[in-house]
Amino acid sequence: MAERILIVEDEPDLVSILEYSLTKEGFEVAFAHTGTEGLRMAQTSPPDLLLLDVMLPDISGIEVCKQLRAADSSKGLPIIMMTARGEEVDRVVGFEVGADDYVVKPLSVRELILRVRAVLRRRSAKPVEPELVKFGRLRIDQAGHRVWVDDNEVVFTALEFRLLTTLVERRGRVQTRDTLLHDVWGVAPGLTTRTVDTHVRRLRKKLGQAATYVQTLRGVGYRFNSEVPEGSVEGELA
């Protein structure tokens, strides 16, 4: 059965282009021109993936994403946000409310399709669920998608959680931005590297006292400590 994609976009010409291109790639496509209609369609007949414009004529795509993430029936729906606003702060807001990916207009249809397939591939993957990970101040329950710092639970988006667990699993080894872009986001390297930097900054902010575990190697990439730094809470890595 073809995977179903819902497009929420108020530009008819862009909807036509996306509908044609995605249908040609074997997807089933539905569309809505307002946030209210898109929200209703996503909740009553959930698609496999939502392409969501940020600037809509009634309610914003940010608000649509927030409402979908807040509802049990749609909190796991893969969402790619689309916008003509390419500033970093706008991308951060999109990821903050739970978007899985973010593309800036004018769109490259080829790149968008690569991102759609990457998000769908991550959704269908069946990760190996290791034991509870303990490292200094940090505890990670991968099966339960939960993280604690000093016994205080910290909420991470799906992408942030995937980035953290990837770094932890490869502790002591440098991960270049292109490697993380490919392995965490599932897209071809070289499309953008600022996305990786943005997420690492947000990851560190949420980790608080455990942020020092993630090291920056300027001009190279990032590395998670292989050992608990001196002065940190003692722990072990399962």
Q: What pLDDT is stored for residue 189 in this prediction?
A: 57
- CATH class of the 133-224 domain in this structure: mainly alpha
Regions in the chain scoring below 70 on pLDDT: 85-95, 125-131, 186-193, 230-238
CATH topology of domain 4-124: Rossmann fold (3.40.50)
Q: What pLDDT is stored for residue 237 in this prediction?
A: 43
Structural contact between residues 30 and 37, judged by C-beta atoms closer than 8 angstroms: no
Q: What pLDDT is stored for residue 235 in this prediction?
A: 45
Q: What pLDDT is stored for residue 184 in this prediction?
A: 84
Q: What pLDDT is stored for residue 104 in this prediction?
A: 84
Give start-end residues of each CATH 1.10.10.10 domain in the chain. Answer: 133-224
* Packing angle, helices 88-96 and 194-207, rounded to 10: 50
Question: What contacts 175, CB < 8 A, 6 or more positions away?
Answer: 166, 167, 183, 221, 222, 223
Q: What pLDDT is stored for residue 238 in this prediction?
A: 41
Q: What pLDDT is stored for residue 102 in this prediction?
A: 82
Three-state DSSP class for residue 133? strand
